[in-house]
Structures are given as C-alpha cells and as structure tokens.
Amino acid sequence: MIVHTGDGKGKTTAALGILLRAWGRGMKVVMLQFLKHRNARFGELRAAERMGVEVIPLGDGFTWTSRDPGKNQALARAGWERCRDRILAPEGAHDVIILDELTYPLIYGWLELDEVLETLRRRPPMRHVIITGRQAPQPLLDFADLVTEMRLVKHPYSEQGIRAQPGIEF
C-alpha cells in the first residue's frame, strides 16, 4: 500500500511508472482516475490503450465544479463504488490498483476516509494499491506501507512561464 503525496510533480507520473513495471512483468493493473482533466491524461490514456491496460476516468475537473455539494458527493460516491469493486474483486483479478487523485474527494469531504481504509483493509493479500494526490490525510499515511512526498523544488510554469509539455506532464 503506497501513497504519493506532496505539492510537487511526479505523483501520478510515478504511479504510471509502477503501472509500466507491473505490466512488464505481466501483472494485472488497473488505474482509476478522479478529477483529472481529459487533456491532463492524454499521454497515459493513449499509452494504456496501446498496452491493453485499463485506465478508467471517474470524472474530470469540469465534472467536479458543481456548486451543488450533494451532486459532487454523489459523483464521488459513484466513482468510489467502482474503485471498491476493484479493490475487493476476487484474488487474482488485479495485482495492482492505482487510485489516482483519490485524496481530493477525501479532502473535500465527499468520501469518508474510514470507509476507504476499511475497504483497503479487506482487500485480498498481495493486491498492491497506490494512492496519489496532495494533502493525503494522516490516517491514510499511517495505514500505508510506503509513503513518498513529491516536493516542489523548482517549477517552470511559475519561474519561467513555460507551459506544461505534452508527453512529459500529460
């Protein structure tokens, strides 16, 4: 159980690196993505398609901008149900499950952390789960086996006005 958190680049990217390694070994990988804009996952969606790996969008930034908190909560729940199905799927169904940007619905209070932890606890043995996103809550870090914080040291957007580069950041 791995968490990639922090304000730097590389949280989703390192999860994609795990996806690549696991796929290289013939393991069964699935990635479920909360919140990410369609453009912001173009490279990985295309790669996954070429590799025959499932990458499942659970709604992009636009989906989640509703001013109706009930609607966001309902969407987050629906997304989470799909994650839970995979997390609890019978042994052998998945070796690696990536829950990309899962911290956001947790931070916004659209999902209950306790329910997420309880579900993770019940997963079959040797099912690796990788969770990415800023501000991972402390109980999630406590629960994780491996936590890396991606810390922003230098960023070209803010410092040089360089825009996000296709193939590199999305």
Write out the residues near a second copy by the rule CB under 8 A. 2, 4-6, 8-10, 12-25, 27, 42-51, 95-96, 128, 141, 144-156, 160, 162, 165-170
Min dist CB 95 to a second copy, Å, is: 7
Closest CB to a second copy among residues 80, 128: 128
Closest CB to a second copy among residues 51, 88: 51
Min dist CB 30 to a second copy, Å, is: 14
**Run of H or E residues at 160:** helix 156-160
Min dist CB 36 to a second copy, Å, is: 13
* Torsion sign over Cα 17, 23, 29, 31: positive
Closest CB to a second copy among residues 97, 111: 97
CB neighbour list of residue 44: distance below 8 Å, 6 or more residues apart: 12, 16, 31, 55, 170
Min dist CB 102 to a second copy, Å, is: 17
**Distance between CA 130 and CA 115 in Å, rounded?**
17
The residue count for the chain? 170
Closest CB to a second copy among residues 8, 137: 8
Query: Which pair of tokens denotes residue 83?
Result: 């994650």
> Of 104, 96, 165, 162, whose CA–CA distance to 132 is shortest?
104
